[in-house]
């Protein structure tokens, strides 16, 4: 009996060891198979990206490049193209296509700024910018290319860089770049983008004792964007000064032909004459907000200066603690469940608004209409003491007389 028990135990131990060995081998085989699949997937992604980038370059050449001047050479990188201006040591213009691939692109910034080896005359270098007080402003945003490493690296060549003051590069200009990405994200459509500085003789240059090149400091930057896919192409452009900009990007929108007059460039020459003429006079920001965009419904703040004693929503922050009249368009309203207060958001949607007005529940009887619905989409002026909450200026409206339609307010000031 004892011998039988020992034999059974030995068999069980052997079987257990064998089973353990089989599991280890099975894990090893599965891991090897998984590694082969990962390598195959990486190879497939590289092939797929290669074709996507080839299509971008094809379509840029076919539709997206400005007309070339005699002697100009197009520098071709994986995800964008450019013409370099040696006199000013920066791009004359850059062109790229922002595709829906940017939605899932998750590559990190690399900050590997390098001279562009394709520019025969040489480009600016790090010493030209370092401690200069200017940002190395990407003309083709690196964030538009975070779906492919080669395309991303191409945006860090100095051929894609122009000196921008930090307040512009990290402020309204960055908002404009994000505005384009939002359109791609929510519409799932491609954007043809051409960007550059306004270059002219006599511009000041970055002055540093250790500089290697004379890099001009532009006064203005421009961006032209177009949706050229399909039967109804459209375009819009933007121009900003190389300084801090107070207004949202929508306020700097212009027509493409105005940028042509400013720069001497000819955009989209490959389009037929009728299509080119049609899109170059377009300037309709509302066409560039796809459904789902959190900024959908925003409007331009009223142009300053307004009639005496009236200010737009961007200017409201300069009058905190004072009684003032602030004018703008009510683009959204909401009533809070707890306080039953009505919030009127002016020009931009919550939480991006520069100013809002509040009507507390106890002041509701002071209105002959429902302000939550009647004021929606109207241009109005509200008068009261400006306070600030969460860094956003606001006015509490006590009664109907403190709210006036903007056109009526203008007529009243003209009578005085």
Whether 345 and 356 have beta carbons less than 8 Å apart is answered as: yes
Apex 309 CA angle, 304 and 314, nearest 5: 40
Here the tokens at position 137 are: 């402003």
Judge whether residue 369 has pLDDT over 60.
yes
Residue 292 has phi, psi (to 5 degrees) of 100, -15
Bigger pLDDT: 355 vs 14: 355
C-alpha span between 23 and 113 (Å, rounded): 50
Confidence of residue 84 (pLDDT cuts 50, 70, 90): very high
Number of neighbouring beta carbons within 10 Å of residue 211: 18
pLDDT tens sequence across 278-297: 999 999 999 999 989 999 99
138 belongs to the catalytic site = yes
Number of neighbouring beta carbons within 10 Å of residue 365: 8
What's the pLDDT score for residue 14?
A: 55
C-alpha span between 240 and 377 (Å, rounded): 28
Q: DSSP readout, 304-350?
A: SSPSTTEEETTGGGGGTTSEEEEEEEEEEEEE-TTT--EEEEESS-T
pLDDT tens sequence across 20-76: 678 888 888 899 889 888 888 888 878 899 999 999 999 999 999 999 999 999 999
DSSP class of residue 97 equals: E
pLDDT tens sequence across 390-405: 999 999 999 999 999 9
User: Catalytic pick from 138, 319, 350, 352?
Assistant: 138
Whether 168 and 134 have beta carbons less than 8 Å apart is answered as: no
Residue labelled with tokens 């100095």: 158
Confidence of residue 17 (pLDDT cuts 50, 70, 90): low
C-alpha span between 196 and 40 (Å, rounded): 40
C-alpha span between 63 and 267 (Å, rounded): 9
Q: Label the pairing between strands 90-98 and 80-85.
A: antiparallel
Segment 378-397 mean pLDDT: 96
Bigger pLDDT: 337 vs 18: 337
What's the pLDDT score for residue 12?
A: 53
Query: What are the structural domains of the chain?
Result: 61-288 (3.40.570.10), 310-415 (2.40.50.140)
C-alpha span between 307 and 413 (Å, rounded): 7
DSSP class of residue 231 equals: S
Whether 150 and 54 have beta carbons less than 8 Å apart is answered as: no
C-alpha span between 42 and 116 (Å, rounded): 28
Least confident of 83-97, 160-174, 320-334, 337-351: 337-351
């Amino acid at each position: 009996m004892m011998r039988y028990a020992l034999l059974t135990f030995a068999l069980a131990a052997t079987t257990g060891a064998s089973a353990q060995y089989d599991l280890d081998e099975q894990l090893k085989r599965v891991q090897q198979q998984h590694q082969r699949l990962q390598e195959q997937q990486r190879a497939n992604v590289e092939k797929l990206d290669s074709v996507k980038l080839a299509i971008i370059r094809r379509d840029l050449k076919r539709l997206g490049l400005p007309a070339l001047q005699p002697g100009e050479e197009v520098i071709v990188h994986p995800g964008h193209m450019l013409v370099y201006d040696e006199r000013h040591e920066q791009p004359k213009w850059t062109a790229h296509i922002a595709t829906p691939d940017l939605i899932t692109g998750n590559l990190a910034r690399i900050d590997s700024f390098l001279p562009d080896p394709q520019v025969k005359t040489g480009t600016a270098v790090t010493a030209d910018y370092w401690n200069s007080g200017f940002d190395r402003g990407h003309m083709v945003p690196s964030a538009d290319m975070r779906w492919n490493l080669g395309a991303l690296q191409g945006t860090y060549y100095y051929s894609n860089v122009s000196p921008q003051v930090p307040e512009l590069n990290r402020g309204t200009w960055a908002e404009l770049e994000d505005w384009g990405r939002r359109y791609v994200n929510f519409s799932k459509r491609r954007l043809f983008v051409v960007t550059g500085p306004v270059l002219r003789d006599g511009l000041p240059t970055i002055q540093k004792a250790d500089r290697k090149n004379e890099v001009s400091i532009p006064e203005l930057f421009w961006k032209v964007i177009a949706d050229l896919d399909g039967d109804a192409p459209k375009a819009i452009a933007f121009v900003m000064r190389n300084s801090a900009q107070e207004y949202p990007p929508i306020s700097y929108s212009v027509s493409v032909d105005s940028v042509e007059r400013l720069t001497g460039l000819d955009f989209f020459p490959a389009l037929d004459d009728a299509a080119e003429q049609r899109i170059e006079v377009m300037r309709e920001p509302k066409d560039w907000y796809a459904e789902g965009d959190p900024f959908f419904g925003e409007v331009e703040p009223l142009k300053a200066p307004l009639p005496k004693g009236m200010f737009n929503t961007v200017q409201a922050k300069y009058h905190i603690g004072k009684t003032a009249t602030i004018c703008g368009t009510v683009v959204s309203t909401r009533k809070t469940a707890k306080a039953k207060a009505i919030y009127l958001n002016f020009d931009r949607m919550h939480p991006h608004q520069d100013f809002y007005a509040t009507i507390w529940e106890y002041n509701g009887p002071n209105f002959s209409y429902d302000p939550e619905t009647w004021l929606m989409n109207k241009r109005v002026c509200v008068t009261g003491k400006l306070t600030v909450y969460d860094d956003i200026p606001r006015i509490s409206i006590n009664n109907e007389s403190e709210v006036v339609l903007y056109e009526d307010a203008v007529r009243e000031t003209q009578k005085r």
